[in-house]
Amino acid sequence: MENWKLLLPQGELEIKTSRQGSSTALLLAGGRKPASEWLVQIAASKDIYCADKGIECCCENNLKPVWLCGDADSAAKDCWEKAQLSGVKILLHDPLKDDTDLQLLLAAMPEAVNIVASGIWGGRFDHLYSNVFSLLNYKIQRDVQVVMADEQEILLLLQEDESLIFKPFSPENIEALSLLPLTDCNEVTLKGVQWNLEYAPLLSAHPYAISNMVEQEKVVFTCNQGRVGFYLKYKL
């Protein structure tokens, strides 16, 4: 197995895995906008792909995406026009479509690209639910890594036999750490927190492993079986 490393504004992330892409891209969706300082840091040296309203994040922070995908029904019109004039590749779709803008963008993404997705949080639960499982499916189909993040929340998607080490820069700012079962039956190991777990069952019918607390300088998590979301909530 190889290690995939990602430097987030909140800390250093390392995932031990046999599944990773050849590069890492930033994907911006139409949910809660990440803070400008956070966004500019994470965007450095990454290709940017926008799903419709995600283009507003680029407009407001002088970032130029590679692609803009969607039906142009939610983003500011001047942002779409600016993208077109600056040579951004436009993937325009009919508003009367089955898939979401994010799903259409994921389907068109280059092969073997890891994703840091922002603009995911906030808004309606049905949108968030669709985002999480659409990105999980992308991870499974492409054999890559996916992280959903902004300055307030982080969600990493892990499959069987993948493990991570997270070294937060300011652990005192973490409000909660939770493990979210994404399949019916899962098994997990978690260390560096108030309530450690060792090969513990984690069932979708009983998602009890929430609101844990970080107690050490690094957190080590292993998905022994199934598919699990490793979630961090930061204090505002």
Q: What CATH superfamily classification does 21-144 receive?
A: Thiamin pyrophosphokinase, catalytic domain (3.40.50.10240)
**In sequence order, what are the beta bridge partners of 158?**
228
Domain ranges for the chain, please list them. Answer: 1-19+153-236, 21-144
Q: How many CB atoms sit inside 10 A of residue 172's CB?
A: 7
Q: How many CB atoms sit inside 10 A of residue 192's CB?
A: 20
pLDDT in tens, the chain (236 residues): 679 999 999 999 999 998 888 899 999 998 999 999 999 999 999 999 998 888 999 999 999 999 988 876 776 788 878 878 888 888 777 766 778 889 999 999 988 899 999 999 988 899 999 999 999 999 999 999 999 999 999 999 999 999 999 999 999 999 999 999 999 999 999 999 999 999 999 999 999 999 999 999 999 999 999 999 999 999 98
Burial track 3-30 (b if 16+ CB lie within 10 A, e otherwise): ebebebbbbebbbebebbbeebbbbbbb
Q: What is the pLDDT of residue 115?
A: 97
Q: What is the pLDDT of residue 100?
A: 87
Q: What is the pLDDT of residue 76?
A: 78
Q: What is the pLDDT of residue 139?
A: 96
Position 95: which residue type?
P
Fold of 1-19+153-236: Jelly Rolls (2.60.120)
pTM, entire model: 0.94
List the structure tokens of 129: 């639910």
